C-alpha cells in the first residue's frame, strides 16, 4: 500500500520513515508524487491543521494520506508559539529567526517549561480521517545547543535527558519525541489499516471528516 506523507520537509519525512515501519507500507512524500494543491494551515488547533492537510491531499492524490501538525508550547508564553511554531518570526518560515524570537521572549522568564505536541491525521481518498496525538515534556535552554534536528530542537531538552533534541542521537530522539509517540499510537491503532489497503475504514470508534 502506498501512503502519501503530507510534507515537503525532508527532515520530517526522513524522521517519519525511520519511525513508521509497517510491513508492505510504501511511504512517499509530496515531492515524490507530483503536483498537488497547496494547503493553507489556518486552523486554530494542531488537529484542525492535520485533518485539513490529510483530507485535501488524500482527495487530490487518490492515495491514503498521513499528515501531521506539530509545534512547541511554552508555559510562560501561554502556550505560544503553538500552531504558529513554524511561522513564529513571520513568513517565510525560518528556524534561526524563530529560535531567536523565542529566546528573546523568554529572556526574563524563570519558568522555561515547555512541550512539543504532535497530532497525526490519516485520511482515505474519500476524505474520511482519524487522528492520534503525542507529546514530549521538557524545558527551553538559555541558548541553542547542537547541530542536529530542525526547528526548535537546539533549544529543547526533553525530561530525563541532559542534552537538547539537536544533540541527541536520532535513534534516541525517534523513541521519545512527540512525533514518535504519536506515530507509535498510529501503528498500534491503525496497523490493520496500514498494512493492507482496508475495506473497513474507518476503525471502530467513529471518524472525523
User: Tell me, what CATH number does 12's domain have?
Assistant: 3.90.950.10
Q: Give which of 190, 44, 173 is closest to 120, Cα–Cα.
A: 190
Domain count, the chain: 1
139 contact partners, CB below 8 Å, separation of at least 6: 112, 113, 114, 156, 157, 159
Q: Is 6 contained in some domain?
A: yes
Task: Give the model's pLDDT for residue 192.
Answer: 74
Strand ranges (E), 124-162 = 129-140, 156-158
Task: Give the model's pLDDT for residue 197.
Answer: 56
Q: What is the mean pLDDT of the chain?
A: 90
Q: Is 200 contained in some domain?
A: no
Q: Is 206 contained in some domain?
A: no
Which domain covers residue 104, as residue numbers?
2-195
Task: Give the model's pLDDT for residue 205.
Answer: 40
Print burial letters for 93-113: b (CB count within 10 Å at least 16), e (below 16).
Answer: eebeebbeebeebbeeeeebe
Condensed to tens digits (0 to 9), the pLDDT of residues 14-73 reads 889 988 888 888 999 998 888 899 999 999 999 999 999 999 999 999 999 999 999 999
Q: Is 58 contained in some domain?
A: yes
Report the alpha-carbon distance of residue 146 to residue 154 in Å, rounded.
6
Helices (H), the chain: 10-19, 30-33, 46-61, 95-105, 170-176, 178-195
Residues assigned a catalytic role: 69
Q: Provide the percentage of residues in the chain whose pLDDT is more than 90.
A: 73
Strand pairing partners for 131? 121
Report the alpha-carbon distance of residue 121 to residue 67 in Å, rounded.
5
Q: Residue 69 — left, alpha, or beta (φ > 0 → left; ψ -120 to 50 → alpha)?
A: beta
Q: Is 88 contained in some domain?
A: yes
Rounded to an integer, what is the distance from CA 37 to the centroid of its chain? 20
Q: Is 42 contained in some domain?
A: yes
Q: Is 147 contained in some domain?
A: yes
Higher pLDDT residue, 73 or 197? 73
Higher pLDDT residue, 164 or 203? 164
- pTM more than 0.85: yes
Q: Is 202 contained in some domain?
A: no
Higher pLDDT residue, 194 or 186? 186
Amino acid at each position: 500500500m502506498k501512503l502519501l506523507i503530507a510534507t515537503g520537509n525532508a527532515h520530517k519525512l526522513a524522521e517519519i520513515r525511520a519511525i513508521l515501519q509497517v510491513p508492505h507500507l510504501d511511504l512517499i512524500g509530496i515531492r515524490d508524487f507530483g503536483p498537488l494543491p497547496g494547503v493553507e494551515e489556518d486552523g486554530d488547533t494542531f488537529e484542525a491543521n492535520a485533518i485539513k492537510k490529510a483530507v485535501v491531499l488524500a482527495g487530490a492524490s487518490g492515495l491514503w494520506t498521513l499528515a501531521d501538525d506539530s509545534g512547541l508550547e511554552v508555559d510562560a508564553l501561554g502556550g505560544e508559539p503553538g500552531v504558529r511554531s513554524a511561522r513564529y518570526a513571520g513568513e517565510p518560515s525560518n528556524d534561526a529567526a524563530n529560535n531567536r524570537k523565542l529566546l528573546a521572549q523568554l529572556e526574563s522568564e524563570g519558568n522555561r517549561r515547555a512541550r512539543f505536541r504532535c497530532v497525526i491525521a490519516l485520511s482515505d481518498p474519500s476524505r474520511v480521517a482519524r487522528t492520534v496525538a503525542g507529546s514530549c515534556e521538557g524545558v527551553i535552554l538559555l541558548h541553542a545547543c547542537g547541530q542536529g534536528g530542525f526547528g526548535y530542537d537546539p533549544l529543547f531538552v526533553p525530561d530525563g535527558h541532559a542534552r537538547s533534541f539537536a544533540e541527541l542521537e536520532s535513534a534516541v530522539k525517534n523513541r521519545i519525541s512527540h512525533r514518535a509517540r504519536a506515530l507509535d499510537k498510529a501503528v498500534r491503532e491503525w496497523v490493520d489499516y496500514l498494512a493492507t489497503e482496508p475495506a473497513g475504514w474507518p476503525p471502530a470508534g467513529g471518524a472525523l471528516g
